[in-house]
Chain A
Amino acid sequence: MTARLGNACRLLRTWGSCKGLTIIYPQSSSLFLPCDQSHSCTAFPRVTPVRHGSQFFKRLSGVEVWSGQTGVSNSGKKKGRRPTRKLENLNYGQRPGDGKANIGWPGLNVPLHDYAAKIGPLAESHKLPPKQRGAQQRDTRKKRRFKPRLSPMERGWTSKSFGGRSVGPPDPVSDYVFEGFDTKILEVNVVSHMTNSLGRKRGFRAFVVTGNKQGLAGYGIGQSGTINNAVRKAKNIAGQHLMYFERYKDHTVYHNFHTKHHKTAVYVRRAPQGYGLKCHRIIQEICKMIGIKDIYAKIEGRTKNKITITTSFFRGLQKMETYQELADRLKLHVVEFRKERQYFPEVVASPAKARQTVGPDELLDFETMYMDGRVRYTRRSVTPFYAKFDAYHRKKRVHFINRNQPAAQLARLVEEQLGA
């Protein structure tokens, strides 16, 4: 090879000194143009013209170019600056030699020692594994933190928030399995603290409530570097701090109550069946975990501190008295008057031995006895602004004439249809 190159080298030196010319040496055995294989002769090497300024692109290597984005200057380091990007391997998913023609080039996409074999189609064994193949794979590897799409039943209060999401029962403890339990996330916060070596260290705090919908419930707070771990910790802590609450006919609280914890006050009213959970979504989730289906609750004071809302509500529930406890305490019968029973006196709880009489000054109003002197504020009914206009009253008079006509017309229609 070297002997033959000798003449070519002289030529190359002459040629190479010219600007703008690059000489590409084919890897095949013959350095010269294949005119005639039988005799050796000097022939012109292949040359490929390339555009101006190619030296600009060759001046720095790929890593050196990236350092502009990935690196931080010395002064920047002193100030605590962090790199804006991470180094990307732009060649990932691509290999020199791979192409549409699907040819295997020894040294490029085929091992070099195979070069004795013909340049031919790329064998399956030498193809890049599917995971690494293609530019699409490069792009997908970038997106490490993609979130799977949740169904409406799995979503929390909003598509993005963790609040309201269900995370299953707490982990079993020795032989106790939390059967029938479910946990709901109430809040996930990003928290941080300062360390001496690393500086600011970020973490997550999760606040959850767990319950079996049969009266057992508890809440817990957990912290960790990742959200999942924080939620798991919180869940297990909640499972260790369960409380039992009696419910009136398994659907509501026994009586109205009012509690305050720090700056958050919660005013709770019992409700009939079918009323629903008309309260803050935090209290809604707690009620669902306990198994309360109908309640009215109003939060007064600080409404943004979810932990104090929860604590306040749980405290009130703990202080709650069942009918039997009330009867035993006051030594009086607890009697219910219901519209559904035409206000018949229904004794729901009796003490072992009831009192014969009640003192004259004794305050025994069930609605207010747990309110600590507080009275519900009901707004005075306000006449609407349009009531002062004549047009409204004229219209009312016209409407009054046909006041039952829609219902009467419907009844007539029904009769007609049934008759037919």
Chain B
Amino acid sequence: MAASMKCAWARCLSTILLNSTKHRCQISQPLYASCSNISGDSGNDEIIFRKGEGGTDQTGQEAGLADDTKKHRRDPGKAFTDVRVQKILLRLTGLDLDKVYEYRAAKGAGVAKVALMSDQQLKKVYESASYKALRKLQMPPVLGAREPIDEVLSEDPELEGLNTSKLVFIDISQRVPLKKRTIVVREPNGTLRKASWEERDVTLQKYFPQSGRKIGLPRMFQQDNLECMLDDGKHEYILNRACSQFEIDDPEYIRVTQRTYEHIHSNGKFEDLRSTRHFGPMIFYFTYYKKIDKLLVAFLEEESLEDSVDLVKLYHIVHPSCKSAEKVASMPDPTPLEIIGAFAEMDATQKSLVQQAIQTYEKECDSTDSTQLRR
């Protein structure tokens, strides 16, 4: 009885949060805005994508390429922070309280605290646990790689030979956000320049250390070691550690996360990240780089039609100029299966696979319907 109540509460709560204007989904707008290389068009809700362009992902596949991508680097951040996208991603992530509050070894954990509660008190406690869980499910944003810093403040050739090593200066005054702290470097040849991203990371970690973060690249994220970890199936751990070690727009973070998503894709283990904060970014990655076929098939095999439709809708939001989006827009009142069917026909890269999955799903549906009728 308590278990069913718990599930019902979780479902009810997530719908409340998604629909209400007061309790908005936690989109990390401040974080997104603080990234220095992104131009501030935050007021615009529409997503502007230049047609024919695509970014390169981890496997080197270039989606929908027409022009030279090296010149125009695509920024997924704008798409990710869109409200509609966030809502869909949160819905897809789900809220499995047992998974969010998984058993983890804790130091100094003594005996459990035991409380005696009535039904009302229990409901309250579940509510607060669900709110906490939603905060735990706050998604780390998906951003484009940061542009390298290349700004010289002054050239002083008369200072050449004064020092044999670089001097790094950091502003340690109070109450300055980490991103805005001035860090400059005096080269041995006398040039005073702004510190590069790598230098910034190291210096900030030295002076304002963040827990869980190491100076330099941890061995785990080296290519070979990363592969070992992935083969062991430690996707969630890798992603969590990457989150704590790197900045979101760090090329290393992007490399590690994208490699992890690719590994999951090749093994089909999408459910491992369900009900974690990394599920949303993973779905977004596949959608952005137009690789949702295998995902769609997985959802259909699970017979979750809502998830499949959500995925296709997400695809249409991120790529509004695609053919199936236009077709669905033209339909008066499309059913879920019609939406998925349109996508399968027009935009799926593995068309036959998706269509087969749809057929299997329809058969399963019919058979269950018939058995229900018989009953």
Contacts and interface: CB of A to CB of B under 8 A. Distances in A.
Interface of A: 255, 270-272, 323, 326, 330, 332-347, 350, 354-358, 364, 366, 418
Most buried by A among B103, B110, B121, B126: B121
Interface centre among B102, B104, B109, B117 (most CB of A within 10 A): B117
Contacts of B8: none
Interface residues of B, number: 30
A117 to B, nearest CB: 90
B106 interface: yes
Interface in B85-136: 97, 101-106, 108-122, 125-126, 129, 132
B106 A334 contact: no
16 contacts: A332-B117, A333-B2, A333-B117, A337-B112, A338-B109, A339-B109, A339-B110, A341-B104, A342-B132, A344-B101, A344-B129, A346-B112, A354-B119, A355-B118, A357-B120, A358-B117
Nearest to B124: A345
Given A255-B114, A335-B117, A344-B129, 4 more contacts: A341-B101, A342-B101, A345-B125, A345-B126
Instruction: Name the residue among B1, B101, B103, B118 with the largest chain A CB count within 10 angstroms.
Output: B118
B374 interface: no
A272 B122 CA distance: 25
B219 interface: yes
B106 A272 contact: no
B110 A272 contact: yes
A340 B105 contact: yes
A146 to B, nearest CB: 50
A340 B108 CA distance: 10
B116 A334 contact: yes
A336 to B, nearest CB: 4
A355 B117 CA distance: 9
Contacts of A255: 114
Contact of A334 (B114, B119, B219): B114
Contacts of A344: 97, 101, 129
Contacts of B113: 336-338, 343, 366
A341 B110 contact: no
A343 B122 CA distance: 14
B122 A333 contact: yes
A356 B125 contact: no
A303 to B, nearest CB: 26
A335 B125 contact: yes
A341 B101 CA distance: 5
Interface in B1-15: 1-3
A417 to B, nearest CB: 12
B104 A340 contact: yes
Most buried by B among A323, A326, A343, A344: A344
A356 B2 contact: no
Pairs A-B, 6 closest by C-beta atoms: A344-B101, A339-B109, A366-B114, A347-B2, A336-B112, A332-B116
B206 to A, nearest CB: 13
A272 B109 contact: yes
Contacts of B219: 418
A50 to B, nearest CB: 89
- Of B105, B115, B219, most A-chain CB atoms within 10 Å: B115
B372 to A, nearest CB: 32
A335 B114 contact: yes
Contacts of A326: 116
B111 A271 contact: yes
Given A340-B103, A350-B1, A356 B118 contact: yes
A330 B116 CA distance: 9
Contacts of B120: 356-357
Contact of B116 (A272, A333, A340): A333
B101, B103, B111, B129 — most chain A CB neighbours (10 Å) = B111
A330 B114 CA distance: 14
A339 B105 CA distance: 9
Nearest to B121: A358
Given A344-B97, A347-B122, A350-B1, A338 B112 contact: yes
A336 B132 CA distance: 17
B174 to A, nearest CB: 23
Nearest to B1: A350
Contacts of A343: 113
B117 A356 contact: no
Interface in B216-239: 219
Contacts of A334: 114-116
Nearest to B113: A337
Most buried by A among B112, B117, B132: B112
A328 to B, nearest CB: 12
Contacts of B117: 332-333, 335, 345, 358
B251 to A, nearest CB: 23
A267 B118 CA distance: 30
B142 to A, nearest CB: 26
A354 to B, nearest CB: 5
B133 to A, nearest CB: 8
B111 A272 contact: yes
A418 B108 CA distance: 30
Nearest to A359: B118
Contacts of A336: 112-114
Nearest to A344: B101
A272 B120 CA distance: 30
A172 to B, nearest CB: 40
Given A335-B125, A345-B129, A340 B106 contact: yes
Contact of A270 (B109, B111, B118, B119): B111
Contact of B109 (A332, A335, A340, A346): A340
B335 to A, nearest CB: 39
A335 B126 CA distance: 11
Nearest to A418: B219
Contacts of B116: 326, 330, 332-335, 358, 364, 366
Interface centre among B2, B114, B219 (most CB of A within 10 A): B114
Best-surrounded residue of A326, A341, A418 (most CB of chain B within 10 A): A341
A418 B116 CA distance: 52
Contacts of B104: 340-342
